[in-house]
Structure 1
Amino acid sequence: MAGTRREVPNDPGRRERILDAALDVVAESGVHGTTHRRIAARAGVPLGSLTYYFEGLDGLLVQAFARLADAMSAHYRATLERAATREDAEAAVVELICGPEYATSREMALIFEMYAYANHHPEAMAIMRAWLLRSRESLKLHFPEHVCLALDVLIEGWPIHRSVERAPLDRGLVAATVRAIVGTLDPEPQEH
């Protein structure tokens, strides 16, 4: 029927492509160098698409950082869900800290940008808080709450050092530290 609006959008993946492009631009140029034009060019969409889907650059950045947090939380959770024993769970924590798949160089650049951005944007700070809680919930699959807090700090902090020092971590030291924390804070594991 002529003149009616179709129910299916012309480009159903456009919004997600814009969010991914925003993360790419932030990773390359920092939040301070991120503009609507750079994001639109990277996503291969008209500039007007950004204002159609998002309320301003801040709204777009908040949603892009939420997308990052969701993706990293899903990987974090999946890594811990694969662990069948306490030893497997400890190895999963070591993998999250040292492995190549979680907290890549690109993700670390984005995390640094998100930390700085969240410091002045309450919506982004809420995303970060929710991300921390999701991480601890994933760790609770295997460890009590107080151990989860200590392990999450390691998982959060050690990759920062790796990124700043630009050197691989000593996997043996990381594993020994994880074992020491778990063994000291939860010496007789119970059902969690």
Structure 2
Amino acid sequence: MPSTRDRAVDAALSLVGEEGIRALTHARVDDRAGLARGSTSNWFRTRDALLAGVIDGLAERERSDLARGESPAIESPEHLVEALTAMIVAQTGPLATRTRARYALFAEAAGDIELLAPLIRQRAAFVEWTAGLLADIGAPHPDEAVRTLMATLDGLVLHRVTVDPDAEIRPVVVRAVRASCD
């Protein structure tokens, strides 16, 4: 059974992903998590501490997903297209609430480097992982291409979780991977 802290973080992520950053209050997290009043504030005394805890929790969950997501060998651009397409389907489907929470948390923490640190570390690990995949499939400049590829895919994810949940994924990923390999 998850700890009360984990239940609070999961509830907070759901609240932020479904209702926006303004929904993030100790009382609403307690209610959403089915915890006694005051439980969340035992773990996170202030709203800033709650925000930091939720950001840390999000980064932990995403690291766990990345570690667990042992994908088949990426040996060609087509394999990379399939892996990235599947990842976007997950982020904009079953994990859409968490994805919206990530974007809201990035925006809320903008300008506070200490608060952003877990998300920035998570992003750096993903950049390194993706650059490695690009190198594996023979991209001539993977360290340059990774930024463009990720910006394109981030835009697609944002578009799907906000204004167009039915936006096509695979054609965009194909073009982005192809451009990364040129």
Range class of TM-score, shorter chain = 0.7 to 0.9
| Kept after mapping to 1: 8 A contact 2:81/2:173 | yes
* Whole-Å separation in 2 of the counterparts to 1:181 and 1:57: 43
Cα deviation code 1:160-190 (max 9, x no counterpart):
1222332422234214313322221xxxxxx
| Kept after mapping to 2: 8 A contact 1:31/1:117 | yes
The equivalent residue for 2:82 is 91
Partner secondary structure for residue 169 of structure 1? coil
Cα deviation code 1:7-48 (max 9, x no counterpart):
xxxx87111111111112222332212211111112222233
* Whole-Å separation in 2 of the counterparts to 1:78 and 1:154: 24
CA drift of 1:106 comes to: 0.9
Distance 1:175 1:33, change over 3 A: closer
| Kept after mapping to 2: 8 A contact 1:81/1:141 | no
Query: Could you say what the CA RMSD is over the residues aligned between the two structures, in angstroms?
Result: 2.4
Partner secondary structure for residue 36 of structure 2? coil
Whose helix proportion is higher, 1 or 2? Answer: 2
Please say if 1:59 is aligned against 2:49: yes
Distance 1:13 1:183, change over 3 A: same
Identical residues among aligned pairs (%) = 23
How many positions carry a matched residue from both structures?
172
Equivalent runs, 1:94-113 vs 2, <5 Å: 94-97=85-88, 99=89, 101-103=90-92, 104-113=95-104
Runs of 5+ unmatched residues, structure 2? 135-141
The equivalent residue for 1:163 is 161
Amino acid at match of 1:38: R
In the superposition, the TM-score normalised over structure 2's length comes to: 0.79
Runs of 5+ unmatched residues, structure 1? 1-10, 185-192
Cα deviation code 1:57-112 (max 9, x no counterpart):
21122221222233234434554743331231232123223x1x124431232123
In the superposition, the TM-score normalised over structure 1's length comes to: 0.76
Please say if 1:50 is aligned against 2:40: yes
Equivalent runs, 1:59-138 vs 2, <5 Å: 59-76=49-66, 78-79=68-69, 81-86=71-76, 87-97=78-88, 99=89, 101-103=90-92, 104-138=95-129
| Kept after mapping to 1: 8 A contact 2:56/2:118 | yes
* Whole-Å separation in 2 of the counterparts to 1:182 and 1:72: 24
Larger Rg: 1
The equivalent residue for 1:150 is 148
